[in-house]
Amino acid sequence: MATRPRKTPSKPQAFPHPHHDHSRCTANALRTAETVCEKHGARLTEIRRRVLEAVWASHAPIGAYDILAELNTDGGKIAPMAVYRALDFLMEHGLVHRLASLNAFIGCALASERHTAHFLICRSCKSATEMDGTAVTRAVKKTLSEHGFVPENEIIEIQGLCAHCHKESA
Q: How far apart are CA 73 and CA 93, in angstroms?
A: 27
Specify the 3-state DSSP secondary structure of 34: helix
Would you count residue 124 as binding Zn ion (CB under 5 A)?
A: yes
Taking the complex as a whole, the smallest distance from the CB of residue 130 to Zn ion amounts, in Å, to: 5
Would you count residue 121 as binding Zn ion (CB under 5 A)?
A: no
Given the rule CB under 5 A, which of 20-28, 66-74, 83-91, 151-159 is the region that contacts Zn ion?
20-28
Given the rule CB under 5 A, which of 3-11, 43-51, 81-89, 117-125 is the region that contacts Zn ion?
117-125
**Within a 10 A sphere around the Cβ of 83, how many other Cβ atoms?**
24
The β-bridge relationship of strands 156-160 and 118-122 is: parallel
Burial class, 112, CB count within 10 angstroms (exposed 0-12 / middle 13-18 / buried 19+):
middle
Would you count residue 165 as binding Zn ion (CB under 5 A)?
A: yes
Would you count residue 107 as binding Zn ion (CB under 5 A)?
A: no
Taking the complex as a whole, the smallest distance from the CB of residue 150 to Zn ion amounts, in Å, to: 21
The H or E element that residue 156 is part of is strand 156-160
Report the residue number, 42 or 110, with the smaller CB distance to Zn ion.
110
Q: How far apart are CA 133 and CA 137, in angstroms?
A: 6
The H or E element that residue 163 is part of is helix 163-169
Per rule CB under 5 A, count of chain residues that contact Zn ion: 12
Taking the complex as a whole, the smallest distance from the CB of residue 109 to Zn ion amounts, in Å, to: 7
Would you count residue 71 as binding Zn ion (CB under 5 A)?
A: no
Which listed residue (51, 64, 90, 122) binds Zn ion by CB under 5 A? 122
Which residues share a beta bridge with 19? Answer: none
Which residues form the interface with Zn ion (CB under 5 A)? 16, 22, 25, 108, 110, 117, 122, 124-125, 130, 162, 165
